[in-house]
Amino acid sequence: EVLTLLVLTYPVLRGLALHLHSAVTGSYIPGTHSIALVNCLNEQIARDIARAIMDKKLAAYVNILPKSSALYFWKGELEESTEILLLVKTRTSKIGELSSYVRSIHPFEIPEIISLPIDQGNPLYLKWIEENVPRD
């Protein structure tokens, strides 16, 4: 029973310890922020989605990368197209809300929304992300 309780509370206790350590030392907690990748059919859709994300304060920064070629399977067939990629910088805690929102406004049936945690980076930039994306 005690072992079960320890196993269940470990993630919470570890998170609290990391936040306390970060507050005391000013160090970055890996994974606090993430980069989400969102594919778009064209530049206008990419700009519209990026603007919508920013308007809802779901990110501090969105890059709109130029057209790239894509190969993928769709409904059993190999497809080839061009796409625009968004790189969305945000708090990791916002990824679920960001993903739901993008799915609700994206024209693709199954849009690509993938996130990667930021392990390290410029502390001032990471602090800037934190200051520009409200907490939950």
Q: Are residues 128 and 111 in the same domain?
A: yes
Q: Look at residue 25 in the predicted model and tell me its pLDDT.
A: 61
Q: Are residues 47 and 8 in the same domain?
A: no
Q: Are residues 47 and 12 in the same domain?
A: no
The residue behind tokens 């990368």 is 65
Beta-carbon count within 10 A of 83 CB: 19
Q: How far is CA 30 from CA 53, 67, 79, 92, 93, in A?
A: 24, 31, 37, 10, 13
Q: How many structural domains compose the chain?
A: 2
Q: Look at residue 5 in the predicted model and tell me its pLDDT.
A: 63
Q: Are residues 83 and 125 in the same domain?
A: yes
Q: Look at residue 9 in the predicted model and tell me its pLDDT.
A: 72
Q: Are residues 127 and 61 in the same domain?
A: yes
Reading the chain (136 residues) residue by residue, the pLDDT tens digits are 666 666 667 666 655 655 565 656 667 888 999 999 999 999 999 999 999 999 999 999 999 999 999 999 999 999 999 999 999 999 999 999 999 999 999 999 999 999 999 999 999 999 999 999 998 7
Of 64, 80, 83, whose CA–CA distance to 72 is shortest? 80
Q: Are residues 42 and 104 in the same domain?
A: yes
Which structural domain range is residue 68 located in?
31-132
Q: Look at residue 112 in the predicted model and tell me its pLDDT.
A: 96
Q: Are residues 46 and 71 in the same domain?
A: yes
Cα–Cα–Cα angle for 82, 87, 89, rounded to 5 degrees: 170
Tokens of 80: 């080839």
Q: Are residues 24 and 54 in the same domain?
A: no
Q: Look at residue 6 in the predicted model and tell me its pLDDT.
A: 61
Q: Are residues 86 and 24 in the same domain?
A: no
Q: Look at residue 35 in the predicted model and tell me its pLDDT.
A: 98
Q: Look at residue 130 in the predicted model and tell me its pLDDT.
A: 92
